[in-house]
A and B are shown apart, each in its own frame.
Chain A
Amino acid sequence: MRWREPRTLAYLAVFGTLWGAWEITVGSVLHLINLPLKGTWLAAGAMTLALTGRRVVRVPGALLMMGALAALLKVFSFGGVVFSPMVAILMEALLAEGVLWLGRERPWAYPLAGGVALLWPPIHRGLFQALYFGTEVYQVYLQLARQVTRWLPISLHHLVWALVVLMVLQFLIGMGAGVLALHLARRIEPRP
């Protein structure tokens, strides 16, 4: 499939819009029901949809285009906070597309792309807090971590390990999203 073919445009538009619609609707529902790791589940679902579309279209840069579309739609969505999710969507798209490009779009690159994209939400949270609170927020976190080590019988190393475990978990969930995307794309791809 190539750019500027009706089918490519149609799938890009539908899956990009679906990504945006997912962020707008399911995003609000997940925030309302207060699910643990809601950002992770939201990103995993979005990555599944985006990678499915990308696998069907198989055009380099398509994921970035879908991400840009989803981010633009987020601007016109309801709710107060749109800027942070917009940047998160773009970064996830950029990371996943980068991995697919490096992996030359082989099937194993899809789970890897999902995994790498899902590493972004926790990093994003940290970076974005600096945008609002300034870089001093990291000093607050460090102070808080030191305070926790005084209250509980744990060291800073334990806290670092907890972060590492969280990141591995994120990566594995993202890989799951990539595997599911491959499976779904196989179902909807036209057979010769």
Chain B
Amino acid sequence: MTAGRFLVLFAATLAVVPWAPLPVLVAWAFGSLLLGWRWAPGALRLFAKPWFLGSVGLLVLGMLVLLPGAPPGVRLAWLGRFLLRALILVLWLQMLRQRVSPAALVRVLRRLGLSGLAPLLTLSLFLLPRLVEDLQESWALFSLWVPSRRQRLRRLPGFLASVVVRAARIADDLTLALTLTWREPE
């Protein structure tokens, strides 16, 4: 399956899942599992991870506590719908992250006519590691400079100012590079 077709199906899933009745959710979950098994088997491994099972267990417990007055049939149907929704959404997100690469996403954006966003995403993917590293360094220095958490919150504007100034410097460097090699983005 191509990234474009996958994204169309993903959009359909997001549109259907919140409102679908139980039989539709069962069919959708079955189809999603089948697709995951054939197209992105790694995505199914998530369901065996302890943190995933633990958080689902906690949510189920929380819901059972919150619904003490409802009849058992209603509680069971609700629980079923919730578990199926969670399964479908988590599975589709895992498939998206495993099988749709940033490069494929750029190609899809171009094909959709979003020609402005495609070159921006390309630039952004180059910039992300540097900016993430910059932010982590700035935060580490800020935490050393202001050890108290309460003080840190008060001085957050100062931290943001330092981040913005560093980002502006990177943007000016990039402007220069783009000007030297300028041609209209494809």
Contacts and interface: CB of A to CB of B under 8 A. Distances in A.
Given A21-B132, A25-B139, A13 B124 contact: yes
Central interface residue in B78, B116, B164, B178, by most chain A CB within 10 Å: B164
B182 A14 contact: no
A65 B67 contact: no
B156 A13 contact: no
A72 B116 contact: no
Contacts of B52: 80
Given A25-B135, A68-B117, A180-B157, A10 B124 contact: no
A20 B51 CA distance: 25
A13 B161 CA distance: 18
A80 B178 contact: no
Nearest to B181: A6
Interface string A143-182: 1100000000000000000000000000000000000100
Contacts of A123: none
A21 B139 CA distance: 12
Interface stretch (A90-98, A100-108, A109-117, A130-138): A130-138
Contacts of A143: 66, 69
Nearest to B109: A72
Given A24-B132, A72-B121, A130 B18 contact: yes
B140 to A, nearest CB: 10
B3 interface: no
Contacts of B124: 13, 16-17, 20, 69, 72-73
B139 A26 contact: yes
Given A15-B171, A65-B116, A188-B165, A9 B178 contact: yes
Interface in A1-18: 3-4, 6-7, 9-18
Interface SS of chain A: helix
Contacts of A13: 120, 123-124, 127, 171, 174
Interface in B112-131: 116-117, 119-121, 123-124, 127-128, 131
Given A69-B124, A140-B66, A14 B131 contact: yes
Contacts of B102: 76
Per DSSP, are chain B's interface residues mostly helix, strand or loop, or mixed? helix
Nearest to B89: A83
Interface in B131-177: 131-132, 134-136, 139, 149, 153, 156-157, 160-161, 163-165, 167-168, 170-172, 174-175
Chain A CB within 10 A, most for which of B17, B105, B127: B127
B133 to A, nearest CB: 9
B82 interface: yes
Interface of A: 3-4, 6-7, 9-18, 20-22, 24-26, 29, 33, 35, 41, 45, 48-49, 52, 56, 65, 68-69, 72-73, 75-76, 80, 82-83, 130-134, 136, 140, 143-144, 180, 184, 187-188
24 contacts: A3-B116, A4-B116, A10-B123, A10-B175, A11-B171, A11-B175, A14-B170, A17-B127, A21-B134, A29-B139, A48-B160, A49-B163, A49-B164, A65-B116, A72-B121, A75-B105, A82-B93, A131-B18, A131-B85, A140-B63, A143-B66, A184-B164, A187-B161, A187-B165
